[in-house]
Chains A and B, each alone.
Chain A
Amino acid sequence: MDAQTLQLAESTVRLATPLALAALGELVAERAGVLNIGIEGMMLAGALAAYEAGAATGSALVALAAALLAACALAALFALFALRRRADPIVTGTAVNILALGATGSMFRLLHPAQAMLSSAPQVGDVLPGLNAFTAAALLLAGSVALFLRRTRAGLSLRAVGERAEAADAQGLSVARIRWAATLFGGACAGVAGASLVLCLSDRFVEGMTNGKGFIALALVLFGAHRAARIVAGALLFGAASALQFTLQAAHVDVAYPLLLMVPYLLTLLVLALFAGRSRAPADLAKPFHGRD
């Protein structure tokens, strides 16, 4: 394999990682019946938290912890309104995204006035030659999620809640508790995905840097028909498309820059058009559960 192809493969995997992480977390949430379109905002919050904590302490571990905290806080907010108050999950998710956009923007500008020099966040290295720690985490996550859903009692309970919450409730399961846990888990994964943006893909925060990756992750869940392995495959597809886009830019190919930037979104639309209809979402997805009374 020549150097250029090797680099393309490497970029593909690196760009696929945050998508896979976020999509796998959302997979668990959706299998429990929770549709969380706010993962875009949770990723962004994770990215900012990781950057600020990382740049301040120099520790990638602290950065990661901060990302988890920030993303889970937003996830809890989402759960409070969408699950507890039974507000519409699409609107709630949109509100979370707007909140994250505004809050991260405000905080970033207040913390770094004008054009002051931005320090770098600590970078996370490889765990095996060629295998970055985040990528390893994503692969581990994919395997664990698949095992969890298919081979554990808790996984069965979660699937039941997503397919028919009232039946699960009638068997003594706590729908609220399972959905909250699934939502927080999804948020945590989105937070880690966001952290990877500043600890691996780049080394600093830019306002709005997620740029729709959260929505692409949502599309990946559909593309992957709510199955872990296919989601990873989809993430690689998108990683390749993005990598190709950068390669074309670098090679000064004569296509206008904005048109190249459109590629990931057009690809997502294409993928949705081809695969969305075939995916069978959990029957009780996005339906609020009215427990007692």
Chain B
Amino acid sequence: MTRARAFAEPLVATAVALALAGALLALLGADPVAALRALAGGAFGDSLALETTAVRAGPLALLGLGVALSFRCGIWNIGGGGQLAAGALAATAFATKSASDWPGALALPLALLAGAAAGALWAALAAALRVYRNVSEVLSTILLNFVALELVAWAVQGPLQEASRSYPQSDALPAAARLALFPGAHIAHVGLLLAAALPFAVWALLFRTAAGLRLRAVGFNPDAARYAAVSPELETARVLVLSGALAGLAGAIEVCGVTGRLFADPAGGYGFTAIAVALLARLHPLGVLPASLVFAALAAGGGAMQRSAAVPSVVVQVIEALVILFSIGFALPRREGA
């Protein structure tokens, strides 16, 4: 696989996906050109648009990183959305209920830690089911997504509901637990730095450490790994928990940096989009950065597209799906095969 091809294929996949989506729109009577223009404007049109794109890229990068890691190890973690929700829930619970018990400087780091831990725990449930009961993580992570969603819904209508008890949302997070904005920015928060730095850390882990070698070996050939005294069970559980932690961290960053409080469905469609991100990045940790920007642009532009061109923003999901299909149908991220 030459370098040039490694970059060209994702571009081609995206272009084809956009073209097909445009055809679909035309078929349904909408104007694809106007839609595309609105999309571009919403994503890059002005500094606020750019910030919106960046802010949406943050959680996508972290989630995509988790997905890329797990897919590389042969673990189908489709539970990013649920793990993110768990993280958002934990961060909110900590920040609104216990943060005052801790020194102010610790509030934010602890909230983020709580989020990562909750995401890791949520993924650990699926890992335990896999290791001890031989339950495929494909099903368990998806089912846990639904459970997490309802858990958050219950929390924001129940124990975490805001003081006036009128809306399904939590109290606002205290200022000490909020991520600061970049100087002069409207919504871009410093949590994005974490999102930008972690891919490099994960890259180093995968390709420059014994732990990373073990993970990759297990992903390619669990039998051979086992014979080399590597435990596939242990490694797959570890990677599942690690990707859950990344997702949980993303959830914590969302509430601490973007929304400022917990709403129902904090993950939105992020969980599935992250899969598209990971595949577009060809499961490479560094590729996750540009890939998350692509999908963040689509999401940011989607809102504008809905407002000005009257095209439903769910078309963005169609594009995502097409990108996934073309990424896997005509290129090979990982395993042996065609």
Do these two chains interact?
yes
Chain A residues with a Cβ under 8 A of chain B: 37, 77, 80-81, 85-88, 90-92, 94-99, 101-103, 105-107, 109-110, 211-212, 215, 218-219, 222, 256-259, 261-262, 265-266, 268-269, 272-274, 276-277, 288, 290
Binary contact readout B135-149 vs A (1 if CB under 8 angstroms, 0 otherwise): 110111011101100
Once A96-B321, A98-B321, A99-B317 are accepted as A-B contacts, the answer to whether A277 and B134 lie under 8 Å apart by CB is: yes
> Whose C-beta in chain A lies nearest to the C-beta of B275?
A94
Once A91-B324, A273-B129 are accepted as A-B contacts, the answer to whether A110 and B134 lie under 8 Å apart by CB is: no
When distances are taken between beta carbons in the complex, the residues of chain B under 8 Å from A266 are 147
Q: A197 CA to B90 CA in the complex, in Å?
A: 36
Asked if B122 is an interface residue, CB under 8 A from chain A, the answer is: no
B320 and A98 within 8 A (CB): yes
Q: A165 CA to B272 CA in the complex, in Å?
A: 32
Once A96-B321, A273-B135 are accepted as A-B contacts, the answer to whether A258 and B143 lie under 8 Å apart by CB is: no
B338 and A85 within 8 A (CB): yes
A272 and B133 within 8 A (CB): yes
B154 and A256 within 8 A (CB): yes
When distances are taken between beta carbons in the complex, the residues of chain B under 8 Å from A219 are 139, 143
Chain B residues with a Cβ under 8 A of chain A: 24, 28-30, 71, 76, 78, 129, 133-136, 138-140, 142-144, 146-147, 150-151, 153-154, 157-158, 272, 275-276, 279, 311-312, 314-322, 324-325, 328-330, 335, 337-338
A95 and B321 within 8 A (CB): yes
When distances are taken between beta carbons in the complex, the residues of chain B under 8 Å from A277 are 133-135
A256 and B139 within 8 A (CB): no
Most buried by A among B76, B158, B325: B325
Among A87, A106, A211, A258, which residue has its beta carbon within 8 angstroms of that of B314? A106
A256 and B312 within 8 A (CB): no
A262 and B151 within 8 A (CB): yes
Most buried by B among A88, A91, A259, A276: A91
> Whose C-beta in chain A lies nearest to the C-beta of B317?
A102
Among A86, A96, A102, A272, which residue has its beta carbon within 8 angstroms of that of B337? A86
Q: How far in angstroms is the closest Cβ of chain B from A215? A: 5
When distances are taken between beta carbons in the complex, the residues of chain B under 8 Å from A269 are 129, 135, 140, 143-144, 147
Q: How far in angstroms is the closest Cβ of chain B from A22? A: 14
Most buried by A among B78, B322, B335: B78
When distances are taken between beta carbons in the complex, the residues of chain B under 8 Å from A258 are 150-151, 153-154, 157
Q: How far in angstroms is the closest Cβ of chain A from B194? A: 27
Among B30, B139, B312, B330, which residue has its beta carbon within 8 angstroms of that of A218? B139
Once A218-B139, A276-B135 are accepted as A-B contacts, the answer to whether A91 and B28 lie under 8 Å apart by CB is: no
Q: A110 CA to B146 CA in the complex, in Å?
A: 27
- The main secondary structure of chain A at its interface with chain B is helix
Q: A288 CA to B146 CA in the complex, in Å?
A: 30
When distances are taken between beta carbons in the complex, the residues of chain B under 8 Å from A85 are 328-330, 338
Q: A95 CA to B279 CA in the complex, in Å?
A: 11
A261 and B150 within 8 A (CB): yes
A110 and B316 within 8 A (CB): no
A95 and B324 within 8 A (CB): yes
Q: How far in angstroms is the closest Cβ of chain B from A177? A: 19
Q: 17 more A-B contacts (CB under 8 A) besides A87-B325, A88-B335?
A: A85-B328, A85-B330, A86-B338, A92-B328, A94-B275, A95-B324, A98-B276, A98-B324, A99-B317, A101-B272, A102-B319, A262-B150, A262-B151, A268-B139, A268-B143, A269-B147, A276-B134
Q: A107 CA to B135 CA in the complex, in Å?
A: 36
Among A86, A103, A107, A272, which residue has its beta carbon within 8 angstroms of that of B139? A272
> Whose C-beta in chain B lies nearest to the C-beta of A101?
B317
B76 and A102 within 8 A (CB): no
Among A37, A88, A265, which residue has its beta carbon within 8 angstroms of that of B147? A265
B272 and A98 within 8 A (CB): yes
Most buried by A among B144, B150, B275, B330: B150
Q: How far in angstroms is the closest Cβ of chain A from B222? A: 14
Once A37-B138, A86-B338, A96-B321 are accepted as A-B contacts, the answer to whether A106 and B153 lie under 8 Å apart by CB is: no
Q: How far in angstroms is the closest Cβ of chain B from A272? A: 5
Q: How far in angstroms is the closest Cβ of chain B from A237? A: 16
Q: A37 CA to B137 CA in the complex, in Å?
A: 12
Q: A92 CA to B279 CA in the complex, in Å?
A: 11
Q: A110 CA to B157 CA in the complex, in Å?
A: 32
When distances are taken between beta carbons in the complex, the residues of chain A under 8 Å from B275 are 91, 94, 98
Q: A259 CA to B159 CA in the complex, in Å?
A: 13
When distances are taken between beta carbons in the complex, the residues of chain A under 8 Å from B24 are 103, 106
When distances are taken between beta carbons in the complex, the residues of chain B under 8 Å from A81 are 325, 328-329
A276 and B337 within 8 A (CB): no
Q: How far in angstroms is the closest Cβ of chain A from B79? A: 12
Among A101, A107, A215, which residue has its beta carbon within 8 angstroms of that of B142? A215
B139 and A102 within 8 A (CB): no
> Whose C-beta in chain B lies nearest to the C-beta of A261?
B150
Q: How far in angstroms is the closest Cβ of chain A from B36? A: 15
